[in-house]
């Protein structure tokens, strides 16, 4: 009898082509990290080995103002990059959903949405948040441009086997506490390098009770803990999400039967094991310039313990001892591959309904994909946001990384549902606080952070 | 890729921990479609604001968890284009470490005390074959994966190496092991 194996072990072993070489089932491509890879192929006279396992979209630098096609993008360099992607995809036969397609969107939103992200697959993309797709029980991780070229040419990747970690969550999340809070609290505890070198499996009763959107939020931020990949074992919730989507398996029952074999076996061993009491987690807000610099919304800005923290406080212009709920905001951003799916927008809309964004705040909602946008509009969520004074945008990475016109100005303070509060991430001198969609929506209305559990509107 | 053997010379010191790739090369410079020309934008905001000064020496010495965040290979491209051939730090973020190896920018992990020692010494000699860093404080050994070391020492192209074994990929596909995933062409 073979020894018990983890979800990771099973996928890794099923994809080992040769020692240190693994096969890639799905390669997602976007405009920023691919042009040099396609150039490399051309220089060597190589082709894309499996265009049928590759798909591209434009997301990082597209404007979210409704610009309908690449050639109308105002910024010259962005236009060139998106047009280059379109040309490369045409030349190499790679399917693409570019600006203007009703399937365009953030690469980590459209993969799941199209049903491409499935249990048991190996999925890569030249983007660190590829860990998102691990929510489906896939092994998914970000790669660099040289590796993008390698996968295009060979459909394989040279990889050392990472270590495995299981983070087991027990208890139910409290009212008003989101998946975002769960992962922020986890990173706060383990540190931004705490998961380094590991493929992380999020497990336990708390995780089983979460929706796919919630699970994607958690796996998405694995990289902020330094993890190589984040994964969640597939279950009925996973199967229900995939069924009926465009790329769902033809023989769905047979696929599900295989997927049921994937969860980690009883007694499977992990290199590192962590236990977290999910019931004890509160709504979280980052105070510094890494996602690990995070406190409960009821806490105050902490005293710095080292130079790194002192520097973070200076950059964020915060005084130790200031209650987080006294921190006033200029901007609110609801969007990004972490929190821009339909459930995220529904949650944000639920607290916005019938209220107004504070006069001092400029707030925006950016759906993760054209499909999410259409679904939200069909439900009337756009009207809820607009009536409250939010700017309702078109799909893209938007202000998560400020590669497009959506950026913070110097000194502006923003409550953001994205994944990184690094210096300058959302614009030079911009100050980012990471929160859940509901917390961001309430912050927009109040003009400051509030404990959503105590908020009168709930 | 140029073969890597010995990297020797003065060190530049960036005494910070958790330096992410957004700092190494800010996003507004990721719109180029070429691999070259990123050096002048290295640590753009920090250098422009006068927070740090860096000389283009062969070796950069810096703090723990260097290169976290975005997977942008533009970060090692910028460091290399600026003039660095090697980076010494107590630890690196996973994707950044891997990206450096792909482009022949040697990341060397040393204990905190040796990292500080090299920074104070101001110069070092890194021998990839011996896996040693030689500086005023002594000679210290570092770890590196054997396959990666071989590839770096001979300046081998990863894709070329993999394609030598293309039969294994053909066999994997022929055995039906690649058939369980979706087809993007059918969308």
Q: Looking at residues B121-132, what average pLDDT do you find?
A: 98
Using only C-alpha atoms, what is the Rg of chain A? 21
Work out the pLDDT band at A458, boundaries 50, 70, 90: low
A431: helix, strand or coil: strand
Pairing of strands B6-14, A16-18: unpaired
Residue A355 has pLDDT above 60, yes or no: yes
Work out the pLDDT band at B44, boundaries 50, 70, 90: very high
A window 9-28, beta carbon within 8 A of B: 14-15, 17-18, 20-21, 23, 25-26
Task: At A117, give phi and psi (nearest 5°).
Answer: -80, 110
B20 CB neighbours in chain A (<8 A) are 290, 420, 422
> Alpha helix locations (H) across A381-431?
381-388
A226·B93 Cβ contact <8 A: yes
- Among A80, A146, A160, beta carbon nearest to B73: A146
Residue A442 has pLDDT above 70, yes or no: yes
A268 Cα to chain B: minimum distance (Å)? 24
| pLDDT for res B59 | 98
Work out the pLDDT band at A2, boundaries 50, 70, 90: confident
Q: Looking at residues B43-55, what average pLDDT do you find?
A: 96
Strand residues in A271-322 grouped as ranges (E): 272-277, 284-286, 294-296
B163 CB neighbours in chain A (<8 A) are 153-154
A191: helix, strand or coil: coil
Best interface-test mutation with B: which of A16, A145, A337 has the largest number of B CBs within 10 A? A145
Q: Measured between CB atoms, does B174 come within 8 Å of chain A? A: no
B8: helix, strand or coil: strand
**Structure tokens belonging to residue A254:** 């047979």
A36·B34 Cβ contact <8 A: yes
A146·B103 Cβ contact <8 A: yes
Residue A167 has pLDDT above 70, yes or no: yes
| pLDDT for res B141 | 98
- Give the span between the Cα atoms of B158 and B163, in whole angstroms: 9
A402 CB neighbours in chain B (<8 A) are 27-28
In chain B, what percentage of residues exceed pLDDT 70? 100
B93·A193 Cβ contact <8 A: yes
Q: Over the stretch A356-371, which tens digit does the pLDDT of each residue have?
A: 999 999 999 999 999 9
**Structure tokens belonging to residue B48:** 């422009």
Pairing of strands A198-203, A54-57: unpaired
Residue A395 has pLDDT above 90, yes or no: yes
What does the H/E/C string look like for B36-62? Answer: CCCHHHCCHHHHHCCCCCCCCCCEEEE
A12 Cα to chain B: minimum distance (Å)? 12
Q: Model's pTM, two decimal places?
A: 0.97
| pLDDT for res B157 | 87
| pLDDT for res A271 | 98
Neighbouring CB atoms inside 10 A of A98's CB total 20
Q: Over the stretch A184-209, which tens digit does the pLDDT of each residue have?
A: 999 999 999 999 999 999 999 999 99
Q: Measured between CB atoms, does A35 come within 8 Å of chain B? A: yes
B133 Cα to chain A: minimum distance (Å)? 24
Q: Looking at residues A149-177, what average pLDDT do you find?
A: 97
Work out the pLDDT band at B86, boundaries 50, 70, 90: very high
Instruction: Specify whether the CB–CB gap between A407 and A415 falls below 8 A.
Output: no
Q: Measured between CB atoms, does B176 come within 8 Å of chain A? A: no
Sign of the C-alpha dihedral computed for residues A202, A204, A208 and A210 taken in this order: negative
Mean pLDDT for all residues in chain B: 96
Q: Over the stretch B65-84, which tens digit does the pLDDT of each residue have?
A: 999 999 999 999 999 999 99
Sign of the C-alpha dihedral computed for residues B140, B145, B148 and B149 taken in this order: positive
B71 CB neighbours in chain A (<8 A) are 33, 126-128, 142-144
Mean pLDDT for all residues in chain A: 97
DSSP bridge pairs for A237: none
B31·A32 Cβ contact <8 A: yes
In chain A, what percentage of residues exceed pLDDT 90? 98
- Give the span between the Cα atoms of A125 and A57, in whole angstroms: 11
**B143-151 contacts, C-beta under 8 A, 24 or more apart:** B143/B109, B145/A160, B147/A20, B147/A158, B148/B101, B151/B101
Work out the pLDDT band at A457, boundaries 50, 70, 90: low
Cα-based distances in Å from A439 to A221, A451, B46, B152, B174: 18, 8, 32, 48, 51
Neighbouring CB atoms inside 10 A of A201's CB total 28
> Alpha helix locations (H) across B30-157?
44-48, 74-82, 94-103, 112-121, 146-154
The residues, any chain, with a CB within 8 Å of residue A296's CB and separated by 6 or more, are A282, A283, A284, A285, A324
Closest CA to A40 of B76, B155, B1: B1
C-alpha angle with apex A13: A155 to B96, nearest 5 degrees? 60
Q: Looking at residues A157-161, what average pLDDT do you find?
A: 96
Q: Looking at residues A233-246, what average pLDDT do you find?
A: 98
Cα-based distances in Å from B21 to A100, A225, A430, B68: 30, 15, 17, 6
A420·B69 Cβ contact <8 A: yes
* DSSP state for residue A52 in the 8-state scheme: G
Q: Looking at residues A83-89, what average pLDDT do you find?
A: 98
The answer to whether the complex's ipTM is over 0.85 is yes
| pLDDT for res A23 | 98
Q: Measured between CB atoms, does B30 come within 8 Å of chain A? A: yes
**Structure tokens belonging to residue A102:** 């009703």
Residue A121 has pLDDT above 60, yes or no: yes
Between chain A and chain B, the number of residue pairs with CB atoms below 8 A apart is 199
Q: Over the stretch A10-26, which tens digit does the pLDDT of each residue have?
A: 999 999 999 999 999 99
Work out the pLDDT band at A222, boundaries 50, 70, 90: very high
The residues, any chain, with a CB within 8 Å of residue B62's CB and separated by 6 or more, are B13, B14, B15, B16, B19, B87, B88, B89
Nearest Cα residue in chain B from A224: B69
- Give the span between the Cα atoms of A217 and A183, in whole angstroms: 8
DSSP bridge pairs for A139: A122
Q: Measured between CB atoms, does A196 come within 8 Å of chain B? A: yes
Instruction: Specify whether the CB–CB gap between A104 and A98 falls below 8 A.
Output: yes
Work out the pLDDT band at A131, boundaries 50, 70, 90: very high
- Give the span between the Cα atoms of A170 and A167, in whole angstroms: 10
**A246-255 contacts, C-beta under 8 A, 24 or more apart:** A246/A114, A246/A115, A246/B187, A247/A114, A247/A115, A247/A116, A247/A118, A247/B182, A247/B183, A247/B184, A247/B186, A247/B187, A248/A115, A248/B182, A249/A118, A249/B182, A255/A118, A255/B180
Nearest Cα residue in chain A from B179: A25
B window 89-128, beta carbon within 8 A of A: 91, 93-95, 98-99, 102-103
A44 CB neighbours in chain B (<8 A) are 159
Q: Measured between CB atoms, does B175 come within 8 Å of chain A? A: no
- Among A21, A32, A246, beta carbon nearest to B162: A21
| pLDDT for res A456 | 74
Instruction: Specify whether the CB–CB gap between B102 and A144 falls below 8 A.
Output: yes
In chain A, what percentage of residues exceed pLDDT 70? 99
Closest CA to B68 of B46, B99, B41: B99
Pairing of strands A163-170, A198-203: parallel
Neighbouring CB atoms inside 10 A of A315's CB total 17
Q: Measured between CB atoms, does A1 come within 8 Å of chain B? A: no
| pLDDT for res B1 | 83
B window 132-151, beta carbon within 8 A of A: 145, 147
**Structure tokens belonging to residue B176:** 């039906």
Helices A342-352 and A381-388: angle between axes, nearest 10 degrees: 40
Work out the pLDDT band at A1, boundaries 50, 70, 90: low
First vs last Cα of chain A: how many Å apart?
54
């Amino acid at each position: 009898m073979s020894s018990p194996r983890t979800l990771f072990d099973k996928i890794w072993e099923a994809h080992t082509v040769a020692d240190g070489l693994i096969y890639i089932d799905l390669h997602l491509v976007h405009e920023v990290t691919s042009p040099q890879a396609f150039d490399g192929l051309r220089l060597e006279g190589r082709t894309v080995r499996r265009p049928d396992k590759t798909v591209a979209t434009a997301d990082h630098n597209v404007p979210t103002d409704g610009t309908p096609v690449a050639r109308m993008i105002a910024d010259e360099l962005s236009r060139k990059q998106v047009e280059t992607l379109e040309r490369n995809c045409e030349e190499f036969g790679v399917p693409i959903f570019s600006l203007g397609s009703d399937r365009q969107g953030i690469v980590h939103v459209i993969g799941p949405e199209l049903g491409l992200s499935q249990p048991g697959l190996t999925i890569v993309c030249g983007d660190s948040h590829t860990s998102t797709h691990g929510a489906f029980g896939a092994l998914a991780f970000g790669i660099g441009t040289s590796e993008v070229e390698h996968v295009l040419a060979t459909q394989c990747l040279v990889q050392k086997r990472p270590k495995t970690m299981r983070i087991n969550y027990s208890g139910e999340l409290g009212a008003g506490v989101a998946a975002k809070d769960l992962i922020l609290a986890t990173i706060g505890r383990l540190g931004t390098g705490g998961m380094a070198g590991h493929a992380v499996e999020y497990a336990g009763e708390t995780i089983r009770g979460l929706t796919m959107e919630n699970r994607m939020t958690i796996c998405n931020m694995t990289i902020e803990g330094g993890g190589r990949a984040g994964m969640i074992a597939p279950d009925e919730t996973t199967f229900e999400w995939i069924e009926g989507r465009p790329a769902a398996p033809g023989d769905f029952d047979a696929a599900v039967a295989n997927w049921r074999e994937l969860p980690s076996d009883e007694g499977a061993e992990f290199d590192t094991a962590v236990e977290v009491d999910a019931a004890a987690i509160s709504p979280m807000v980052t105070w510094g310039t890494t996602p690990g610099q995070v406190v409960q919304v009821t806490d105050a800005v902490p005293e710095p313990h080292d130079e790194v923290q002192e520097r973070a406080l200076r950059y964020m212009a915060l005084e130790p001892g200031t209650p987080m709920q006294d921190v006033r905001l200029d901007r609110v951003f609801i969007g990004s591959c972490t929190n821009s799916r339909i459930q995220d927008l529904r949650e944000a809309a639920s607290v916005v309904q019938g209220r107004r964004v504070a006069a001092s705040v400029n707030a925006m909602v950016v759906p993760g994909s054209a499909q999410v946008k259409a679904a939200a509009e069909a439900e009337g969520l756009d009207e809820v946001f607009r009536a409250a004074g939010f700017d309702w945008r078109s799909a893209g990475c938007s202000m998560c990384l400020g590669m497009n016109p959506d950026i913070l100005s110097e000194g502006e303070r923003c409550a953001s549902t994205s994944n990184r509060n690094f210096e300058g991430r959302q614009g030079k001198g911009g100050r980012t606080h990471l929160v859940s969609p509901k917390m961001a929506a309430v912050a927009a209305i109040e003009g400051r952070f509030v404990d959503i559990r105590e908020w009168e509107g709930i | 890729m140029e073969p890597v053997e010995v990297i020797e010379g003065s060190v530049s010191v960036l005494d910070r921990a958790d330096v992410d790739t957004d700092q190494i090369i800010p996003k507004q410079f990721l719109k180029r479609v070429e691999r070259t020309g990123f050096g002048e934008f290295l640590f753009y905001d920090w250098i422009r604001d006068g927070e740090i000064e860096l000389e283009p020496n062969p070796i950069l010495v810096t703090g723990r968890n260097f290169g976290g965040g975005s997977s942008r290979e533009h970060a090692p491209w910028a460091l290399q284009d600026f003039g660095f051939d090697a980076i010494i730090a107590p630890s690196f973020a996973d994707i950044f470490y891997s990206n450096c190896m792909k482009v022949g920018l040697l990341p060397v992990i040393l204990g905190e005390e040796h990292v500080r020692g090299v920074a104070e010494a101001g110069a070092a000699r890194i021998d990839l074959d011996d896996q040693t860093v030689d500086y005023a404080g002594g000679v210290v050994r570092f770890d590196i994966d054997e396959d990666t070391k071989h590839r770096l020492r001979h300046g081998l192209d990863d894709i070329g190496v993999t394609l030598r074994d293309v039969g294994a990929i053909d066999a994997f596909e022929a055995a039906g092991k690649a058939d369980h995933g979706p087809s993007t062409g059918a969308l």
